[in-house]
Amino acid sequence: MQDTQIQEQVLTLGLDDWRAGRHDAQWVAALEAGKVLYFPQLPFVLAPQEQALLRPDLLMPEVRNISLDAEGRLKGAAGDAQVQAALAGMVGRFRHQAESLVHALLPHYVPSLRMAPTSYRPAQVETRQQSWRADDRRLHIDAFPSRPNYGERILRVFANVNPAGVPRTWRVGEPFEDVARRFLPRAKRYSPLQARLLRMLRVTKSLRSEYDHLMLQLHDGMKSDMRYQETAPQMTMPFAAGSAWICFSDQTPHSVMAGQFMLEQTLHLPADRQYNPASSPLAILGRLAGHPLV
Ligand code: SIN
Ligand code: FE
């Protein structure tokens, strides 16, 4: 892949209102092809009193993120009742704005979306110590060992709320099919017996499908390969303070290199409810494997 082509993995768009987006076939095709839609003029605006919530010590010890679940319960936050209520208010407001953005841009998804918890990430990225598998500073696609998803999509809305103008710097990698072609030949074969064992031992919450197995093989294959990390087609992408961006994080190779203070909303979508289901990781991996994976 040429340097000029990798730059096309991020589409920069002028939208400046969370509610004013409209369905645009080109934007949708880019998103479903695994590109990032970047909105540099779409800030998530904090109320003046919310500025006081931009502190990393609001994280409970040993916790990576503060999150607000679908029932409105806040998790992972230190601080008294007043601080917790203010956090829940800020994160909840972000959830509504992220939802409005997705509804406006992707109306066809609306009846099929399932909201996941919203996260607030006040920790500084550069100083975090993590095992290679958990280290999001390595290029990866999102795949989770304990939660099989059978091809359901992971759509994420992000907003950088850094008050000092510090960008959230990502690396964005090559198209998903290129990743799959590179790592599938090295992937361990799926074992239905092992999948049943993992379920019995409650390592997984439900049976790990062949799709989930292969996605984890891609995730681990990418993260464990330092040569890939250094030489893979990639671009460094500083998402400005006061900007927002969205991507399918199960499809877009990404890593976070620097930054602090971000909000994130995950939405799930069945792969067959996309505008173009053939562009999903489930369809691409199934095509390359030559048989259905779920
Ligand atoms: C990730 O999803 O890998 C991390 C993204 C971020 O924290 O910016
Ligand atoms: Fe990730």
Whether residue 169 contacts residue 258, with contact meaning beta carbons closer than 8 Å, is answered with yes
- Give the model's pLDDT for residue 190: 98
- Which residues constitute the domain of residue 39? 4-135+147-174+234-280
- Which stretches in the chain have pLDDT values below 70? 2
- Give the model's pLDDT for residue 122: 97
Total domains in the chain come to 1
Whether residue 188 contacts residue 216, with contact meaning beta carbons closer than 8 Å, is answered with no
In a domain, 189, yes or no: no
- Give the model's pLDDT for residue 128: 80
Q: Whose CA is nearest to atom 1 of ligand 1?
A: 136
In a domain, 30, yes or no: yes
| CA distance linking residue 172 with residue 85, whole number of Å | 35
Among residues 58, 167, 74, 79, which one has the least CA distance to residue 123?
58
| CA distance linking residue 283 with residue 219, whole number of Å | 17
Q: Compute the half-sphere exposure of residue 136: CA atoms within 13 Å on the CB side of its CA.
A: 18
Which of 64, 245, 264, 265 gets mutated to test ligand 1 (max ligand atoms within 8 A of its CB)? 264
Neighbour-count burial for 232-247, b at 16+ CB within 10 Å, e otherwise:
bbbbebebbbbbbbbb
- Give the model's pLDDT for residue 116: 96
CATH number of the domain enclosing 27 = 2.60.120
In a domain, 218, yes or no: no
CB atoms within 10 A of CB 264: 20
The model's pLDDT over 126-184, given as tens digits with 9 standing for 90+, comes to 988 889 999 999 999 999 999 999 999 999 999 999 999 999 999 999 999 999 999 99
- Give the model's pLDDT for residue 70: 84
Predicted TM-score (pTM) of the model is 0.97
- Give the model's pLDDT for residue 236: 97
Whether residue 266 contacts residue 122, with contact meaning beta carbons closer than 8 Å, is answered with no
SS3 261: coil
Return residues with CB closer than 5 A to ligand 2 (ion). Answer: 142
- Give the model's pLDDT for residue 186: 96
In a domain, 43, yes or no: yes
Q: How far is the CA of 255 from the centre of ligand 1 (A)?
A: 6
CB atoms within 10 A of CB 201: 8
Q: How far is the CA of 249 from the centre of ligand 1 (A)?
A: 9
